[in-house]
Amino acid sequence: MAISKDVTISEIAARANVSIATVSRVINQAGNIKAETKQKVLQAMAELGLNPSTYCGIKAPADSRSILVCLPNFQNPFNADVIEGIQNAAMARGYRTFFYAASDLRFSLYEYEKIIDQNNFCGLLLVHNVLDTEQLNKIKLKYPVVMCSEHCNLPDVSFVSIDDVYSSQIAVNYLLSIGRSRIALINSQLTNAYARFREKGFLSALNKAGLQANNNWILHITEIDFDIAVSVITSLLKGADRPDAIYCVSDVYGAAAIKAIQNYGLRVPEDIAVVGFDNISLSKMVVPALTTINQPKKQLGHQACEILINLIENPSTPPQHILLDTELIVRSST
């Protein structure tokens, strides 16, 4: 309800004809309050479109359970929507979510294990790549664990992800269909499973079309960072031989490609077409707007969190390996 978004405690107080302090005490279930006064406050909340049970400690009982959600960092805008999906699923099931970024991803699972040992978390949701499957194996014997966005090859760890190989093929086939055949790939480091799979899809689509990939046009960027990507892509443009399309495994790289191409005095899409990946809001903000592969970001987070909660509540739930659908969104950069 849009109206309830703007209700403040002072409005509740005004409507109930009590002080703000009284509204506070009712919400906080603290102090002595006459039943009649309490009823007036609850009534006012309901009239203002608020569900009193949501705000008066009923939905968040003292034993409310908590999930630890681990991300590589909070910089990649892709994760903002994944987080929203996780939060919504957790809230609907009465769980709280706490977000944590490891100080060093290579050793992160040791850190998470310590954190869960020391705290009240009842499950672990991993929103990043795991290299150390031995340690993951160890943790999953102690605590419910589910992976979101990325996945690993342990058959008994559930994950929700996308088909990266197929999605790359869709992107490359589309570029081929509009007459581009000199296609560069801007990828992340191959330590990320998604990067390996997307590169595989890129190569197989070219191969299927009878084309040979140009190894000078396959670049791996150390982190999803706009400035780094601009300089890497600029060096690509300086080569004697130049691509007529750039396929980027992230919209951040795609935005950087547009910037680098335009800075270099070339036009998007006339000289070089650009395709991104993720469909984050940035892809609509840049000019020209970015053609991209949509990932169902909120759904990835939502479904992974639901599977984790099912596992928490019923440890015998069988593992699930889910690949959600992606889709090509054509905009002006191609």
| Region binding its own copies by CB under 8 A among candidate stretches 1-9, 157-165, 201-209, 317-325 | 1-9
How many residues sit in the footprint of its own copies (CB under 8 A)? 65
Residues 27-65, buried b or exposed e (16+ Cβ, 10 A)? beeeeebeeebbebbbebbeebebebeebbeeeeeeeeb
The only residue of 15, 43, 84, 150 in contact with its own copies, by rule CB under 8 A: 84
Q: Is 231 in the site for its own copies (CB under 8 A)?
A: no
**Alpha-helical regions (H) of the chain:** 9-16, 20-28, 35-47, 52-55, 78-92, 108-118, 133-142, 164-177, 193-208, 226-237, 251-263, 282-285, 297-313
Q: What is the smallest separation between the CB atom of 150 and its own copies, expressed in angstroms?
A: 16
Does residue 267 touch its own copies according to CB under 8 A? no
The minimum distance between CB 211 and its own copies, in angstroms, equals 31
- Tell whether residue 234 is a contact of its own copies (CB under 8 A): no
Determine, following the binding rule CB under 8 A, whether residue 60 of this chain makes contact with its own copies: yes
Q: Which is nearer to its own copies, 96 or 200 (CB)?
A: 96
Angle between helices 9-16 and 20-28 in degrees, nearest 10:
110
Query: Residue 326: which of 302, 287, 290, 296 has the closest Cα?
Result: 296
Binder among 57, 204, 213, 294 for its own copies (CB under 8 A)? 57
Q: Which of 29, 47, 48, 51 is CA-nearest to residue 38? A: 29
Note whether 301 and 82 are within 8 A (CB). yes
143 contacts its own copies (rule: CB under 8 A): no
Compare residues 205 and 252 and give the one whose CB is closer to its own copies.
252
* Ordered DSSP codes for 175-189: HHHTT---EEEEEE-
SS3 content of the chain, % helix, strand, coil (to 5): 45, 20, 35
311 with 123: CB under 8 angstroms?
yes
Per DSSP, what are the bridge partners of residue 246?
A: 184, 274
**Among residues 101, 152, 154, 218, the one that binds its own copies under rule CB under 8 A:** 101
Answer yes or no whether residue 98 interacts with its own copies by CB under 8 A.
yes
Residue 120 interacts with its own copies (CB under 8 A): yes or no: yes
Within residues 151-210, the interface with its own copies by CB under 8 A covers 191
Q: Which of 75, 216, 231, 332 binds its own copies (CB under 8 A)?
A: 75
| Residue ranges in contact with its own copies by CB under 8 A | 5-9, 20-21, 24, 27-28, 54-55, 57, 60, 62-64, 66, 73-75, 77, 79-80, 83-84, 87, 91, 96-101, 103-104, 106-107, 110-111, 113-115, 118-120, 131-132, 134-135, 191, 222, 226-227, 255-256, 258-259, 262, 281-282, 284-287
